[in-house]
Amino acid sequence: MDLERFEKMDSFSVIRWALEEFKDKVTLASSFNVEDIIIIDIMVKEAEALGMEKEKLRIFTIDTGRLHEETYKVIEKVISKYGVKIDFYFPDYRDVEEMERKYGPNLFYKSIELRKLCCNVRKVKVLKRALNGFKAWITGLRREQSVTRKDIKKVEIDEINNGIFKINPLVDWHDVDIWNYVRENRVPYNELHDRGYSSIGCAPCTRAIKKIEDFRAGRWWWESPESKECGLHVEEE
């Protein structure tokens, strides 16, 4: 398959292709950042145009156990507005208990290695389980988000996750595109965005950013930009 052809397609066309090509074998991984909710909005519209039942759209989220309360609030808003079903996945409690017993509850502040361990236990291992049985997954990644994401394509082969398709329909969107779409389509979003949070993950590892700071500056702010991935999108060594 010529993956380069997708670079010329708009986001709606890429999502429509994914729904037609994979049907119930494609799933959206949503952390309920604004990008993910925009994708849900588009998925629902494209599903309706294709005559698909929106209730059968596959969407999942990983509840790490350390999320902001505001994230849970926007999840409820999304379910209410769009009538979609969200599949919740949680980390294995035995892994979490062993990790915190050995390193404490806030181990991620102690070293990059321990932060990556926490991400692996709470997210990466869970993602493997969530993607089991799917042929493709959709993400809200954008190239301008960080130096680690500048080369991503709209459609890729995800070698980290058994060679399934990884679909990134918003890769070429800029912040102005995101917020214009939100306003024009009345898309609900996490209220933390209004408080200066550009990227929202676990509460202890996320903070608001200043206008002069990089988009991902609020994620693991004690680390260098080159290491600011949890392992969901970049293979960890």
| Ordered mean pLDDT values, 10 residues apiece, the chain (237 residues) | 92 98 97 97 97 96 97 98 98 98 96 94 96 97 80 93 96 95 98 92 91 76 62 48
Question: What pLDDT shows up at residue 236?
Answer: 45
User: What pLDDT, on the 0 to 100 scale, is given for residue 223?
Assistant: 80
What's the confidence (pLDDT) of residue 232?
55
Tokens coding 101: 């017993």
What pLDDT is attached to residue 227? 52
Query: CA angle 35-189-25, nearest 5°?
Result: 45
By C-alpha distance, which of 140, 127, 137 is closest to 26? 137
On whether the CB atoms of residues 174 and 189 are closer than 8 A, the answer is no
Residue 233 has what pLDDT?
A: 47
Distance CA 189, CA 178 (A): 11
> Of 118, 202, 205, 230, which is the active-site residue?
230
| Residues linked to residue 29 through DSSP beta bridges, in sequence order | 60
Catalytic: 205? Answer: no
pLDDT at 231: 46
- Amino acid 226: pLDDT: 57
The domains located in the chain, with CATH, are 3-227 (3.40.50.620)
d(CA 52, CA 28): 16
Query: Whose structure tokens read 């090509």?
Result: 21
